[in-house]
Structure 1
Amino acid sequence: MHSLIIHMSTSTQRRPNADRLLEDLPNARLIEAVDGRDPAQVSDVTVLPGTLHRPHYPFALRPAEIGVFQSHRRCWQRIIDEGWDHAVIVEDDLRIDPARFASALKLLAPHMRPGMYVRLPIKPRETSGEVVAQSGDMRLIVPRVIGLQCVCQVVGRDAAKRLLAGSERIDRPVDTWLQMHWITGQPVHTLLPNGNAEIAGEIGGSTIQTKTPVTGKLAREWKRAIYRARLWAHPQKG
């Protein structure tokens, strides 16, 4: 098993945690994150308004979201280039429980295939459509609706190829796009609980979230609720 840690070398507050992940994850290496605020780094990215796929995405992509999407695409390409069957991909604000993480990988090992994408999320929000495997309180499931965030996942080589081919043009954040399995053609599994935690607040805050006025926040939440309701019309099936 190999591991890729998305980290921007200028993010000095996050470097200690990135170094900890280098020690805690199997065969880990850093992958330089794409800075979406730098026009030179995203000059080859085709960004469209949220009308590329249905349901339409009601928000404009922020530069940081573009950078995160391209950073994950960079990791998918690395898996292909290295010829790995699969690899762990994490963001540098992840904290793992090494013992629990090892147990999660042990549970996953006999089931992982190059065509699989498995989330190890920090929040147990998904409802199971099928239980694939279980050990103690830990379960590998096919969630009905795929959760948000890409803090930690295991991605197979064939899945990486499929996702790269499907994301040459983007119109929404990477985690939101991955929810659309009927568009990507990529089923997504989830492994919970796994001991993972997000610690962005301890190391300088989120690189994506921005402050929104109260009136704008209410309108945004209303649009988000409508969008989520439309996602429920496309549940994953085991």
Structure 2
Amino acid sequence: MDHNPKWAIFVINLQRAPHRWRAVSQRLNALGLQYQRIDAVDGRQLSQQQLQQLIDHERARKDYHSPLSASEVGCYLSHLKAWQAIIDHDLDFAIVLEDDVVFSDNFAIVPPCIASIAEPWDVIKLAAPHKQQRTQVLGEFSSFRWVSYRKPPLGACAQAVSKQGATKILAQRRQVFRPVDVDLQWQDELGLRIRGLTPYTVDHSHTHESDIFRIAGRHETLNRPFQRLKNKIKLQLDSMRARRNTHPQSR
């Protein structure tokens, strides 16, 4: 990355949620950070015709265990907008936040820390609001550990995305078939170098319930347990194969 990389903080916010915008703005202002709003795609406003065009139904049946909801599609499209903005503004990277997050004080040093990282990367996880995943420590930057994942953690509430990473994802996701956070777990399929900075500096606020879980009822939608197990095994095998290719001496 350049010695003086160009970066921004993007906050994804639904127009019908000004209370969330006020809350996250106050937190970022208190940390002395500048940020920009990304107008989120409202899944409620997508027509059935639009959903038919936006979802890759064949891959959704094959590669995910539940029907995608309109809110999950809207969430993914909102992240695509943020990633496109990285390219449109010719940024080296952006920190992409959802609007229902809280920050530790250390979040203020995250942007310059990321700017100092010389190793190529595509996505950096800054939060793991759900299940923790195993990490391998690759090094240290400032007060953070630089880690890699066998399986990146779920949740897309806070992550940095490089211009190269945004380009890779946008080229492959003209239609969607998995929720955005699930899709990013398939780092090898997408050809992404996903890293993390731990301890994480961002979490869900838990004050405002996530639109995806509240509206879509992600845990209540009809699941295909056999397909879920099959995809879980495939993801594990893909990760093992990628590690062997990266570290052939471990064979």
In the TM superposition, 1:29-68 aligns within 5 A as 29-39=36-46, 43=50, 45-49=53-57, 51-52=58-59, 56-68=63-75
Q: Aligned partners of 2:119 and 2:138: how far apart in 1?
A: 17
Q: How does 1:12-91 map to 2 (within 5 A)?
A: 12-23=18-29, 24=31, 26-39=33-46, 43=50, 45-49=53-57, 51-52=58-59, 56-91=63-98
Q: What percent of counterpart residues are identical?
A: 23
Q: Sort the Cα spacing of 1:155 and 1:212 in 2 relative to 1 into closer, same or farther, 3 A.
A: closer
Distance 1:68 1:222 in 2: 24
Instruction: After TM superposition, give the deviation of residue 41 of structure 1 in Å.
Output: 11
Distance, in Å, in 1 between the alignment partners of 2:48 and 2:62 is 29
Q: How does 1:1-238 map to 2 (within 5 A)?
A: 1-23=7-29, 24=31, 26-39=33-46, 43=50, 45-49=53-57, 51-52=58-59, 56-97=63-104, 99-111=105-117, 115-123=121-129, 125-136=132-143, 138-199=144-205, 201-203=206-208, 205-210=209-214, 220=223, 222=225, 226=229, 227-235=231-239, 237=243
The CA deviation at 1:132 is 3.5
**Count of residue pairs the alignment pairs up:** 231
4+ runs of 1 displaced by more than 6 Å? none
Alpha-carbon RMSD across the aligned residues, in angstroms, is: 3.1
SS state of the match for residue 30, structure 1? strand
> Following TM superposition, by how much is the alpha carbon of 1:113 offset from its aligned partner in structure 2, in angstroms?
6.3
Query: Aligned partners of 1:234 and 1:3: how far apart in 2?
Result: 32
Distance 2:158 2:173 in 1: 19
Q: CA deviation at 1:102?
A: 2.6
Whichever structure has more helix as a proportion of its residues is 2
Give the SS at the match of 2:133: coil
- In structure 2, how many angstroms separate the alpha carbons of the residues matched to 1:17 and 1:228? 36
Instruction: In structure 1, give the amino acid aligned to 2:173.
Output: S
TM-score (norm 1): 0.83
Task: Work out the CA distance in 2 between the residues paired with 1:16 and 1:27.
Answer: 14
Taking the aligned partners of 2:136 and 2:110, their CA distance within structure 1 comes to 19
- Report the Cα offset of residue 166 of structure 1: 0.8
Return the TM-score normalized by structure 2: 0.79
* Structure 2: runs of 5 or more not aligned: 1-6, 247-251
Write out per-residue CA displacement over residues 178-211 of structure 1, whole angstroms, 9 at most, x where no aligned residue. 1112221112111111232201x313x1101148
Cα contact 2:136–2:149 (8 A) shared by 1: yes
Gaps of 5+ in 1: none
Higher alpha-carbon deviation: 218-227 or 33-42: 218-227
